[in-house]
Amino acid sequence: MSKMIKPDLSAPVDGRQSERALEIQRGTGRLLRRHGFVSLPEVTLKSGRRADLLAINTKGEIWIVEIKSSLADFRADKKWPDYWDFCDRLFFATNQETPEEIFPEEAGLIIADAHGAEIIRDVEQRKLAAARRKALTLRFAQIAASRLHAIHDPGVPTHIEPAKL
């Protein structure tokens, strides 16, 4: 009867993230909220890749924000267009120290610091297929609630991970 779910407890801080990336994550999370989106950091997708921020609004629209805290960070990622398979809009988020012109126009651009952020270039929406949107929404719900549960009840079984999409 039961399907085991293992919570993704990596959020929001893990050893791989630099301090700067965390600042961008925080500022961008606030920006998303202003735009009516709740967001979850570090969500592993069906492709195996991890979205830095997966965000969803009350209409069910889904955005992904990839955080790039330096030029090297951006250059290390050749496969970023793959995120388009999992969102309606894709953005990069960076800081003021990283040159804007390195970021391709096929994604939107957000400039953030630890306190807030701005969308400095929007990007046209590409509409997710209904089945993918449904699966992503369900996975978002599972991960958010399992992380919250682990905070409120550290005794909760932690071997459960929602199925990948």
Contacts to a second copy by CB under 8 A: 1-5, 11-12, 26, 29-30, 33-36, 38-40, 56-60, 115, 134, 137-138, 140-142, 144-149, 151-153, 155-157, 160, 162-163
Q: Which is nearer to a second copy, 13 or 71 (CB)?
A: 13
Phi, psi (deg, nearest 5) at residue 59: -90, -5
Residues 6+ apart with CB under 8 A from 41: 11, 12, 25, 29, 52, 53
Distance of closest approach, residue 70 Cβ to a second copy, in angstroms = 23
Q: How far is the CB of 147 from a second copy (least distance, A)?
A: 6
Nearer to a second copy, 47 or 57 (CB): 57
Q: Which residue's CB is nearer to a second copy, number 56 or number 107?
A: 56
| CA 135 to chain CA mean position, Å | 16
SS3 145: helix
Smallest separation (angstroms) from a second copy to the CB of 158: 9
Q: Residue 3 CB, nearest distance to a second copy (Å)?
A: 4
> How, if at all, do strands 37-44 and 50-57 pair?
antiparallel
Nearer to a second copy, 39 or 98 (CB): 39
Cβ–Cβ < 8 Å for 108, 126: no
Tokens 């709740």 sit on residue: 38
